[in-house]
């Protein structure tokens, strides 16, 4: 393993180039490529998932395939298009067999994610799925108990809310109504935040 060396005063493009050559954990050895993330560099909303899957590893883009199509529908529920938001993952490389990220792997990638969020500086971060939510919030609290609250992420305390992962919704379509409720609340929260009103505690 090696230490992450992020260039001083990086841009999104420079950070992506640095991540592409990262050897801070062993996952790069089996990955086809890093999946850095994509989207609008000044997005109001930033989605963060857990890790690239097989299709993402091959294509180099986050959230493709059926889960990506459902994420696109979730973005539309916010009144936005995919190109209006920024999408990233906790991990930039796919773990073997699509297994869950290990704590050391998430820790090795965290500097990239924190810098990504800082560069985009979104009004709101949306963590999709249990693993992303627990990793970003450094907690083992079940996702059901993390929903319907406004959390904060990083040194700047970016507002963060939690919802279910699109892949989970494909397996449990009956939960979609909860996600649409989360996204409606997210849209209302973004409006409130952009007007400069504080957002803490429960989403309302």
Domain at 31, CATH number: 3.40.470.10
In a domain, 130, yes or no: yes
Question: What is the domain range of residue 161?
Answer: 12-195
In a domain, 1, yes or no: no
In a domain, 51, yes or no: yes
In a domain, 57, yes or no: yes
Tens digits of per-residue pLDDT, 161-186? 999 999 999 999 999 999 999 999 99
Span 108-132, mean pLDDT? 94
Buried b / exposed e over 105-121, threshold 16 CB at 10 Å, is bbebbbbbbbbbbebbe
In a domain, 202, yes or no: no
Tens digits of per-residue pLDDT, 10-39? 889 999 999 999 888 999 998 999 999 999
Contacts by residues 11-16 (CB-CB < 8 Å, ≥ 24 positions apart): 11/119, 12/41, 12/116, 12/119, 12/120, 15/112, 15/115, 15/116, 15/119
In a domain, 118, yes or no: yes
Asked whether residue 202 carries a pLDDT value surpassing 90, the answer given is: no
In a domain, 201, yes or no: no
In a domain, 79, yes or no: yes
Number of domains in the chain: 1
């Amino acid at each position: 393993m090696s230490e992450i060396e992020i260039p001083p005063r990086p841009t999104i493009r420079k950070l992506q180039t640095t991540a592409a050559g990262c050897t801070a954990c062993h996952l790069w050895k089996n990955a086809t490529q890093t999946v850095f993330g994509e989207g609008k560099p000044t997005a109001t909303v930033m989605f963060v998932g857990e890790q690239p899957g097989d299709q993402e590893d091959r294509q180099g883009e986050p959230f493709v395939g059926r889960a990506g199509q459902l994420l696109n529908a979730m973005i539309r529920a916010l009144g936005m298009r995919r190109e209006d938001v920024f999408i990233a993952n906790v991990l930039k490389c796919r773990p073997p067999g699509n297994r869950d990220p290990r704590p050391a792997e998430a820790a090795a990638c965290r500097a990239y994610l924190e810098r990504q969020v800082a560069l985009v500086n979104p009004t709101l971060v949306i963590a999709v799925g249990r693993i992303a939510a627990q990793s970003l919030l450094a907690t083992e609290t079940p996702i059901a108990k993390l929903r319907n609250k406004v959390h904060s992420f990083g040194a700047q305390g970016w507002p963060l809310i939690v919802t279910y992962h699109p892949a989970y919704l494909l397996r449990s379509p009956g939960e979609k109504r909860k996600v649409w409720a989360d996204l409606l609340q997210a849209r209302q929260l973004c409006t409130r935040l952009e007007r400069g009103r504080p957002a803490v505690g429960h989403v309302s």
